[in-house]
Structure formats: C-alpha cells, structure tokens
C-alpha cells in the first residue's frame, strides 16, 4: 500500500492525441482480478485522448485508483477519473492529509513500476516535478468520496477538529470576499450537530428548506435535530414576514428581529432569543453549546447599527463562550476593497478577536471552473500573548456533496 | 415510439414528427405550465423570456464536465432543448447547432446521463408516451429562473435594454398563462402590458399548441398527425391556449395581441395612484412607497392563493412580479440623489421582506434598478447580497465602445454579479463569463463574447490591448473579480 507507483506522467502531458486500442493489454494486468485493462503497451510517447470518459481511457484510470485504496475506490471511478489521469503516484489515504502535502515534499519516493509494457521498457527519467505529483491531494478526494460524506472531512483535518471532541470557548469567524462562503456554514452546522452540541442557528439568508436540503447532503437532518431539541432555528425570512405583516403577537413576546420595526434600536431581543434557546436545563445532555450566524451582514442591511451588532456579538460571547463554554461561528461578507464602511468596521473588529478565521476569497485572477477559491486559515494560538498566528492557505473546489482542499497550484485540473 | 425516441438520442436521425411528440412526456411532468423542475436543486424553473439568458441564470451544472449543449454559440440561433429542436435530421454535426450536437452524440456527454438514457429507453412505457430520454435532455439543457427567487437587473445607462428584458419576462408570463404583477412608479402598468412583444409563432410554437390540445384528447398519435398537417389552419390560432413549452422567442417589432393579453390575469401597482389614498402607512420605518408595494404584493399572494394556502384550489399557477426602476427618485428614495441618504435601509429592508414573500410562495420576481445612479456603493453591495441573481447590463450606447470594431457585433455587455445558491453547496456556474448581448432585428440574445476573426497577418490590431483589458474586466464570476494584471493563482 505504501509502495508508491508511478505511471508515465510525461506522456500524459505531452505528445499528440492518440486513442489506444483497449484490447492490447498486457496479460499480466488482465490476470489481476481487481485491476482492469490499462494503458496498452507500445505507445509510450503518445497519450490517450483528452477525454477522460472515453472508453479507452477509463480502464487505465481504474488501475490507478484501485491501487490507491482497494476497499473503497472501485465504485467511485467515474468521479475521480479526470484527476487521476494526471496523478501518477499513490499514497495511502491516511498519509495524505493536506498538512502533510503542503508541509514537506516527499523526498525520496520509492517508486515501484507496475508491469506495463511501455514502462518496463526502461525507466525513463522522471520529470522534475514528479515529486509534486506524488503529493496531489486528489488522492484524498478519492478517499473521502467513498466513505460516509458527513461534514467536510478534509476541512476537519485542516482544522484538527473531530466531532468526537469539539473545541470549547472558541469564536470562529467565517469571512468571504468576492465569492460565497456559505459552504462553511453548512459544514459547521453539520459538524456541531454531529458532535452532539446544542445549536442555535440564526439563519438570516435562506429558508429552512434550503439549509435542510444541504444538510441532508452532508448527512444530517435538521428536522430531526429540531424535533429532538438539539437545534433551535431562527428563520430570518419567515420571522421578518411575521413581524411586518403579522398581527400583534398573542403572547406579547417580542420577535427576535424586533429591531427591524424601529421601535427598539438594539439587538437585545435577538440576544435574549439566543440566551434562552441555549440556556442549560437539568435534563439535557448536550456536549456543548453553539451559536451559528448566517450572516451577520444581513443585520446591517436590516437597519442595525454596527455598534449594536458588535455589542450583540460581545454579549453572545460572554454567555456562550465564557459562561457556557460553547462556541460561536459567525459568517460575514466583506472584501478589502468594499465601500461598505459599516460592514468593514464590523468585520475588522471581529477579525481582531476571533480565535480562528476562515477567510474564503475568490481567485484574484478571476473565475475558474476547477478551483473555486482560496481559503486562508488563520489560527490564533492565543488572544493574549504575542505569539504569531498560524496561517495556512489552500485552494478549494466545491462539489455536490463535498469540498476538496488542496495546496495552491495543486488542483487536479492543473496537474 | 420508444424506439424512435431512443434513436434520436443516439443518432440524431429521428423523424420530425416523432421528435415533436417526445416533448409531451416531459411537459406532463411539470405540473405548472411554463415551468420545469431543475434536476439538481429540485426547484421549479421558469423562463425569463430570453432563452439565452436562461442559460446564464442557472446552469444545471451537477457533475457535467463538458461544455453544455445549450450555451449560445456566436452566430447561431439561440439554444433550444435538444429533444424538440431536431428539425432537419441528419445535418452536419457542428452545423446543426447545439441541439443536434447533444442529441446526436450521446457519448459526447457525461457518463451518468448516458447511462440514464439507456436505462430509460430500455424500459418501454404503456401508451404512446414519449421516451423519457427527451425529458432528461430538457432538464439538463439550459437553466432558468427558479421559482421563489429574485432577479435583479442593473439598468443600462438609458434603460433601453433593461426595460426590454423586463418586458420579455412579463411576455413570457403571458404566453405561459402565469399571473402578472406589474409595479412601476414611472410608466402606468397598463401601458407596459400593452407594449409587450409578440411571441414568435414559429412551427414549434404551433405544434406545441396542437400538442397541448392533442394531449387533452389522449389519442396522441393520430390526432397529432392530422393536426400537424393542418397546423396552419386559422382555427388553431383563434383560441389562445397557454403554452406548456419552456421559453419562447419574441418579436420586439410587434406588440402582443390583445386576445393573448386578455387570457391572463394581471395586477398592477402604480405608485402615483396609490399615494394619495392613505396618507400614513409606516411599516418598519420603511419608505412609504416600498411599504405600500409590499402590502400590495402580499395581499395578491395571499388572496390569490400563491402561498399554497388553498391546496384544494384548482390549478396551481405562478405569479410573476415585475418592479420597474426600483430605488429611483420616483419611488421617493433619495439613494440616487445623494451619497448620504437619509434612509439608507429602506431599500434593503424592502428586498429582505420581498425575498421572504417570494420564498414562501409560487412566485418569481424581476427588478430593474438604476444602479449607475446610486451614489453610495455600499447600498449596491448590500442589495447584491440580498438578491438571488444580479445581472448588470452595460450598453454601448453613448460609450466609446460603440465604435470599437471589436464590439461591432454586439450592443452591450452582460455582467453576471451574483448567481443563486439554492438547495445545494455549489451554485450554478455557467462555463463562460464573457457575455455580450445584442438586439437583432427582432430578437434580443445573449451570446458569448468573442473576437471577430483577425484576417490580416501583418497589420496588428490596435485595440487588441483594449479588448484584453475588457475581457479581464468581464471574467468576473460569482462575484469574483479579476484584480491585478500580474497576478498568478496557479
């Protein structure tokens, strides 16, 4: 498993298009029960057709991926084929954490050449960037794809977090500029629900059904969580409608979004909502308390002053992080060149005292189909001391049910 | 019938009669006329009246790896869902347009769909119903405006093309039999309705109508054949039935016939008429005009049952809401006139409440907004965040680009500022971001921006640099704007 093996990377990269005939397969490979026909012999200087899905290429992909992770890859072949085509070395999945990838280059990969006709002919000199290939996190993708798609596993690895032991007392800021960072909200929602925390979710942007459908894709049911009292969901759009068009509340209870009506200027009602919903009771046995906000910038659009928003967050921090030893996760929009001064004030101030910042940015060079953006992970080791922050930068690609992270420039489409 | 459908999907050689048939199977599945379900996020989609813009608005992008078949190609007619558009069978692969390309080469498309089609076409269904292959094709090709979402059009400088898009959106509603809600502070809604463009009644449209009637009488094949032969007979035209087809083409040079207009129900909101009636309507510190408009939309939605409150009520229908030049001075909003408006939150509050209304009802909304007049850019940023889709129009009228030879084929550029995130992690991103629009003699189309052929070897184009610059500006997707000339991401 640990043995790294390499295909003919260079000939996949250069040369003219050629569609090899699938029947010309080395017999040694055919006998291997798990490995399907592979790149045929005799065409070392030519590459298969560009189309990863054409029948002649797909088998070779199988050969690659089977060698990665025998127990899980076979059924996933179509989803990895374009990337694996260009990745040549395999590393066991457990070694391919992205930290590993970015931290050190693989110094001396032990390459075992599988018995392909073209390769047996002689060891051709490896291209200078072959080592890079060996570290492609695409392999990780192949792995996570196959196992249960719960949260974004890769992100957990990057953050050193597991649902088994969630952090306590942390303030996490999610910030996006020039792109959409809501996938992080979905991640943290499913993460904390899975971790058995009691979650208060201020969902101001989308409807409940949206969050529920995405959460189901990530393996969590919000309706079930609501029923068992684990999730307290404030649907901003709905309660805003009730506030604007609804008649007087029969109970006399003010709406959490009372500030919209202008009768009060501060966000005290919203804070009360958070406090009561996260208040510990005798019977519950939740592992922790979490406040999740998507997104804070909406409050500004609805007429709250920046100072009120900061006050609200401060109060929440006191209650959730300090008293209840829980966590807060907050999403804000805000790029550096934004002209929204109020929003900027909120963002800068929150950045200043968060324990962890996940900053998602669109690519500076514009839109790309295969790399959706860049994520900067800023870990404050301590808010008090002067220790340097740990900054990691990755690029990511969002897929239907998963997000893959890779070191910069190591997208499967680029390699 | 099944065999014919499957053959079309594989070889593109189906006869015309059978292809026109296949659609009825697909349209039967969409319960509301003029809509179709989106495969990925499960939302109903409706057309905004410009099929090429539909493609831009929401791509069914799933695991698709190839260039989708519906993206408009330069110099070609707008894309149509492949199942219906195979008119000349056996044409050349590239000359046949995107539709044939898709229908003709099943293996060209991604793996999963191919399997899906094979499986579908292998299971024959009772009756003469269409193969569901065509149904799938309809779903994967092209996008549309999802029901419950808000499309914001940033007006071009003189509001020429944005008002055109606005009318297209409403006209599509008329043709599909949707209810309309037209709000304006400038032109009386009755006038806007009167000036809607006439639908292009091409062969497809006619067969479509015939089909609708044929589907009712349940004996598809025979009546279809006969009616198809007599489709030019005037009796088909006399009763304007609602069309089940998704996306129509319009002739801007003609006005819609009054008969067609009478067939639908429309509501109007004209601010000058509203204001004097009730002097005080303060809702959440919102601008009076906005508050009244919200109240009006809300009452239409609730009274007409678009919120699904009367499930026993007959046929479900869609409400199309159009709001013209929101935020302009005529709406009594000062965001256009000053950098520090008195009430900076009215517009954003309005949009938030409107979004809530839309999400809870069977409705879709188009808003045009004179964003170039809004001094305070912070407002525009917030507005963009609160809308589901934001499309900016930049017309060449009065700009130096009008005379630029590089842009001679186009009338303006189309910038996509925001694309919807709906029920999924990914948002629909179309493959291309460089889009331009043009108004042909009769039609408004959105196309990929491309360079005119550089025919000379020696003479270098002086404005090449210029185009490179503008192309850079254009390549902003999902809000990602290219910044910096020398930046290298990977």
Distance CA A31, CA A37 (A): 10
Q: In Å, how far are A85, A215, A244, B353 from A267, measured between CA atoms?
A: 54, 28, 17, 18
Look at residue B202 in the predicted model and tell me its pLDDT: 58
Top-confidence residue, A317 or A141? A317
**SS (HEC) of chain A:** CCCEECCCHHHHHCCCECCCCCCCCCHHHHHCCCCCCCCCCCCCCCECCCCCCCCCCHHHHHHHHHHHCCCCCHHHHHHHHHHHHHCCCCCCHHHCCHHHHHHCCCCCCCEECCCCHHHHCCCCCCCCCHHHHHCCCHHHHHHHHHCCCCCCHHHHHHHCCCCCCCCCCCEEEEEEECCCCHHHHHHHHHHHHHCCCEEEEEECCCCHHHHHHHHHHCCCCHHHHHHCCCEEEEEHHHHHHHHHHCCCCCCCCCCCCHHHHCCCCCCHHHHHHHHHHHCCCCCCCCCCEEEEEECHHHHHHCCCCHHHHHHHHHHHHHHHHHHCCCEEEEEEECCCCCCCHHHHHHHHHHHHCCCEEEEEECCCCCCCCCCCEEEEEEECCCCCCCCCCEEEEEEEEECCCCEEEEECCCCCCCC
User: Across the interface, do A400 and B489 touch by the CB < 8 Å criterion?
Assistant: no
At residue B379, φ and ψ (nearest 5 deg) are -65, -45
User: Across the interface, do B431 and A79 touch by the CB < 8 Å criterion?
Assistant: no
At residue A276, φ and ψ (nearest 5 deg) are -70, -35
Inform me whether the C-beta atom of residue B285 falls under 8 Å from chain A C-beta atoms: yes
User: Across the interface, do A408 and B41 touch by the CB < 8 Å criterion?
Assistant: no
Distance CA A406, CA A395 (A): 5
CA angle B295, B301, B302 (to 5 degrees): 90
Domain range annotation of chain B:
2-143, 145-199+250-451+461-474
User: Across the interface, do A301 and B355 touch by the CB < 8 Å criterion?
Assistant: no
Q: What is the pLDDT of residues B316-361, one digit of tens each?
A: 788 999 999 999 989 888 888 888 888 889 999 999 999 999 999 9
Mean pLDDT of the region A300-308: 93
Domain range annotation of chain A:
4-146, 153-407
Top-confidence residue, B379 or A84? B379
Which ipTM value was assigned to this complex?
Answer: 0.70
Look at residue B143 in the predicted model and tell me its pLDDT: 73
Residues of A in contact with B483 (CB under 8 A): 337, 364
Residues of A in contact with B477 (CB under 8 A): 366-367
Distance CA B365, CA B322 (A): 6
Distance CA A270, CA A55 (A): 58
Which of A 289-318 lie inside 8 A of B, CB atoms? 297-298, 300-303
Residues of B in contact with A217 (CB under 8 A): 424-425
Q: In Å, how far are A1, A88, B39 from A100, measured between CA atoms?
A: 17, 18, 38
Which of A 105-144 lie inside 8 A of B, CB atoms? none
Which of A141-145, A331-335, B466-470 ranks highest by mean pLDDT?
A331-335
- B229-233: Cβ within 8 A, 24+ apart: B231/B203, B231/B206, B231/B207, B232/B206
Q: Which residues contact A376 (CB under 8 A, 6 or more apart)?
A: A357, A358, A359, A360, A361, A391, A392, A393
Mean pLDDT of the region A181-189: 93
User: Across the interface, do A362 and B355 touch by the CB < 8 Å criterion?
Assistant: no
User: Across the interface, do A262 and B481 touch by the CB < 8 Å criterion?
Assistant: no
Which of B 359-388 lie inside 8 A of A, CB atoms? 359-360, 376-378, 381-382, 385-386
Distance CA A32, CA A115 (A): 11
Residue B374 · residue A289 · CB < 8 Å: no
User: Across the interface, do B425 and A398 touch by the CB < 8 Å criterion?
Assistant: yes
- A284 CA: distance to closest CA in chain B (Å): 31
CA angle B37, B43, B46 (to 5 degrees): 65
Residues of A in contact with B484 (CB under 8 A): 364-365
Mean pLDDT of the region A214-220: 91
Distance CA B334, CA B8 (A): 57
Mean pLDDT of the region A336-340: 87
User: Across the interface, do A241 and B386 touch by the CB < 8 Å criterion?
Assistant: no
Q: Kindly report the CATH number that applies to the domain delimited by A153-407.
A: 3.40.50.300
Look at residue B456 in the predicted model and tell me its pLDDT: 62
Q: What is the pLDDT of residues A364-373, one digit of tens each?
A: 887 788 888 9
Look at residue B365 in the predicted model and tell me its pLDDT: 95
Inform me whether the C-beta atom of residue B482 falls under 8 Å from chain A C-beta atoms: yes
Q: How many residues in total does chain B contain?
A: 490
The residue among B368, B448, B434 whose CA lies nearest residue B157 is B368
Which of A 138-167 lie inside 8 A of B, CB atoms? none
The residue among A160, A139, A211, A182 whose CA lies nearest residue A332 is A182
Q: Which residue among B360, B426, B480 sits closest to A399, beta carbon to beta carbon? A: B426
Inform me whether the C-beta atom of residue B294 falls under 8 Å from chain A C-beta atoms: yes
Q: Which residue among B352, B431, B472 sits closest to A240, beta carbon to beta carbon? A: B352
User: Across the interface, do B352 and A52 touch by the CB < 8 Å criterion?
Assistant: no
Distance CA B4, CA B9 (A): 9
The residue among B487, B467, B356, B457 whose CA lies nearest residue B404 is B467
- B13 CA: distance to closest CA in chain A (Å): 23
Distance CA A70, CA A61 (A): 13
User: Across the interface, do B483 and A364 touch by the CB < 8 Å criterion?
Assistant: yes
Look at residue B428 in the predicted model and tell me its pLDDT: 60
Q: Which residue among B360, B478, B490 sits closest to A367, beta carbon to beta carbon? A: B478
User: Across the interface, do A82 and B478 touch by the CB < 8 Å criterion?
Assistant: no
Q: Nearest chain B Cα to A301, which residue?
A: B348
Inform me whether the C-beta atom of residue B281 falls under 8 Å from chain A C-beta atoms: no
Residues of B in contact with A186 (CB under 8 A): 425
Which residues of chain B fall below pLDDT 50? 1-30, 60-141, 209-210, 213-224, 231, 233-243, 475-482
Q: Does position A66 have pLDDT exceeding 60, yes or no?
A: no
Residues of A in contact with B290 (CB under 8 A): none
HSE of B343, CA atoms in CB hemisphere, 13 A: 18
Look at residue A11 in the predicted model and tell me its pLDDT: 36
Tally C-beta pairs within 8 A across A and B: 165
User: Across the interface, do A400 and B63 touch by the CB < 8 Å criterion?
Assistant: yes
Look at residue B59 in the predicted model and tell me its pLDDT: 52
Residue A369 · residue B431 · CB < 8 Å: yes
Q: What is the pLDDT of residues A241-289, one digit of tens each?
A: 988 887 655 566 788 998 988 778 889 999 999 999 999 888 878 989 9
DSSP string of B72-112, one letter each residue: PPTTSPPP--HHHH--STT--TTTTHHHHHHHH-GGGS-HH
Look at residue B62 in the predicted model and tell me its pLDDT: 36
Inform me whether the C-beta atom of residue B253 falls under 8 Å from chain A C-beta atoms: no
Look at residue A384 in the predicted model and tell me its pLDDT: 76
Look at residue B431 in the predicted model and tell me its pLDDT: 60
Q: Does position A190 have pLDDT exceeding 50, yes or no?
A: yes
Look at residue B287 in the predicted model and tell me its pLDDT: 84
At the fourth CATH level, which superfamily is domain B145-199+250-451+461-474?
P-loop containing nucleotide triphosphate hydrolases (3.40.50.300)
Distance CA A371, CA A414 (A): 9
Q: Decide: helix, strand or coil at residue B438.
A: strand
User: Across the interface, do A362 and B478 touch by the CB < 8 Å criterion?
Assistant: yes
Q: In Å, how far are B382, B430, B450, B482 from A361, measured between CA atoms?
A: 18, 19, 28, 12
User: Across the interface, do A240 and B353 touch by the CB < 8 Å criterion?
Assistant: yes
Which of A 345-364 lie inside 8 A of B, CB atoms? 362-364
Helix (H) or strand (E) holding B10: helix B2-11
Summary mean pLDDT of chain A: 71
Q: Which residue among A82, A183, A338 sits closest to B381, beta carbon to beta carbon? A: A338
Residue A139 · residue A65 · CB < 8 Å: no
Q: Which residues contact A211 (CB under 8 A, 6 or more apart)?
A: A186, A189, A201, A203, A222, A233
Tally of CB atoms within 10 A around A118: 21
The residue among A65, A67, A21 whose CA lies nearest residue A43 is A21
């Amino acid at each position: 498993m640990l043995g790294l093996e390499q295909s003919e990377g260079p000939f996949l990269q250069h040369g003219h298009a050629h569609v090899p005939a699938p029947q010309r397969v080395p017999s040694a490979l055919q006998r291997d029960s798990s490995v399907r026909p592979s790149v045929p012999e005799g065409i070392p200087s030519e590459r298969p057709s560009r189309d990863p899905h054409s029948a002649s290429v797909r088998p070779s992909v199988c050969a690659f991926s089977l060698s990665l992770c025998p127990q899980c890859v076979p059924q996933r072949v179509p989803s990895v084929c374009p990337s694996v085509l260009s990745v040549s070395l395999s590393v066991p999945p457990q070694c391919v954490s992205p930290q590993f990838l970015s931290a050190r280059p693989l110094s001396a990969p032990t390459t075992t050449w599988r018995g392909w006709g073209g390769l047996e002919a002689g060891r051709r000199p490896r291209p200078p960037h072959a080592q890079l290939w060996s570290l492609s996190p695409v392999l990780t993708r192949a792995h996570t794809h196959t196992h249960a798609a719960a949260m974004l596993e890769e992100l957990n690895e990057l953050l050193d977090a597991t649902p088994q032991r969630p952090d306590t007392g942390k303030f996490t800021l999610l910030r996006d500029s020039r792109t959409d960072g809501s996938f992080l909200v979905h991640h943290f929602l499913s993460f904390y629900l899975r971790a058995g925390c009691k979650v208060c979710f201020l969902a101001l942007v989308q409807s409940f059904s949206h969050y529920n459908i995405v959460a189901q894709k990530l393996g969590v049911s919000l309706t079930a969580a609501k029923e068992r009292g684990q999730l307290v969901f404030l649907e901003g759009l709905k309660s805003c409608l009730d506030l604007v068009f609804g008649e007087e509340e029969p109970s006399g209870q003010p709406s959490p979004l009372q500030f919209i009506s202008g009768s009060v200027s501060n966000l005290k009602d919203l804070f009360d909502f958070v406090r009561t919903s996260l208040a510990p009771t005798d019977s519950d046995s939740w592992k922790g308390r979490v406040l999740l906000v998507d997104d804070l910038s909406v409050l500004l659009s609805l007429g709250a002053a920046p100072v009120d928003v900061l006050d609200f967050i401060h109060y929440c921090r006191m209650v959730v992080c300090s008293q209840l030893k829980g966590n807060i996760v907050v999403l804000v929009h805000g790029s550096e060149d934004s002209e929204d001064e109020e929003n900027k004030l909120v963002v800068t101030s929150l950045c200043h005292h968060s324990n962890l910042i996940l900053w998602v940015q669109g690519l500076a060079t514009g839109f790309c189909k295969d790399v959706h953006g860049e994520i900067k992970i800023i870990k404050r080791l301590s808010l008090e001391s002067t220790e340097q922050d740990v900054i990691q930068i990755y690029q990511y690609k969002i897929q239907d049910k998963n997000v893959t992270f890779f070191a910069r420039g190591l997208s499967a489409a680029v390699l | 019938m099944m065999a014919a459908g499957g053959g079309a999907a594989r070889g593109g050689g189906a006869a015309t009669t059978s292809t026109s048939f296949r659609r009825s199977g697909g349209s039967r599945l969409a319960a509301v006329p003029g809509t179709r379900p989106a495969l990925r996020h499960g939302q109903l989609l409706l057309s905004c009246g410009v099929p090429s813009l539909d493609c831009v608005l929401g791509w069914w992008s799933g695991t698709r790896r190839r260039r989708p078949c519906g993206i408009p190609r330069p110099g070609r007619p707008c894309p149509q869902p492949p199942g219906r558009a195979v008119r000349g069978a056996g044409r050349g692969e590239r000359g046949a347009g995107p539709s044939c390309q898709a229908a003709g080469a099943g293996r060209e498309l991604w793996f999963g769909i191919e399997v899906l089609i094979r499986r579908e076409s292998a299971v024959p269904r009772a009756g003469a119903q269409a193969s569901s292959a065509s149904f799938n094709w309809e779903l994967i090709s092209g996008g549309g405006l999802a029901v419950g979402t808000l499309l914001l059009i940033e007006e071009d400088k003189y509001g020429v093309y944005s008002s055109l898009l606005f009318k297209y959106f409403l006209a599509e509603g008329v043709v599909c039999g949707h209810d309309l809600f037209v709000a304006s502070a400038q032109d009386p809604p009755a006038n806007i309705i009167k000036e809607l463009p006439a639908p292009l009644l091409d062969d497809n449209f006619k067969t479509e109508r015939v089909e609708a009637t044929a589907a009712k009488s349940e004996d598809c094949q025979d009546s279809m054949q006969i009616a198809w032969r007599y489709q030019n007979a005037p009796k088909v035209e006399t009763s304007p039935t609602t069309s089940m087809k998704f996306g129509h083409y319009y002739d801007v040079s003609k006005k819609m016939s009054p008969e067609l207009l009478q067939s639908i129900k429309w509501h109007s909101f004209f601010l000058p008429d509203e204001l004097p009636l009730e002097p005080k309507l303060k809702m959440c510190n919102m601008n009076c005009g906005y508050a009244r408009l919200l109240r009006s939309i809300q009452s239409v939605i609730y009274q007409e049952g678009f919120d699904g409150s009367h499930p026993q009520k007959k046929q479900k229908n869609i409400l199309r809401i159009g709001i013209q030049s929101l935020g302009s001075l005529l709406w009594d909003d000062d965001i256009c006139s000053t950098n520090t408006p008195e009430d900076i939150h009215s517009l954003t509050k309005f949009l938030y409440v409107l979004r809530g209304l839309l999400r809870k009802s069977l409705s879709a909304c188009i808003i045009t907004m004179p964003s170039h007049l809004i001094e305070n850019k912070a407002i525009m940023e917030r507005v963009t965040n609160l809308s589901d889709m934001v499309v900016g129009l930049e017309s060449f009228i009065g700009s130096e680009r009008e005379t630029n030879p590089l842009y001679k084929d186009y009338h303006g550029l189309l910038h996509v500022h925001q694309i919807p995130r709906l029920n999924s992690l990914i948002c629909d991103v179309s493959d291309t971001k460089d889009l331009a629009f043009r108004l042909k003699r009769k039609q408004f189309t959105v196309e990929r921006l491309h360079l005119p052929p550089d025919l000379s070897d020696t003479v270098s184009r002086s404005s090449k640099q210029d185009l490179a610059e503008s192309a850079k500006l254009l390549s902003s997707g999902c809000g990602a704007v290219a910044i910096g000339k020398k930046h290298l991401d990977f």
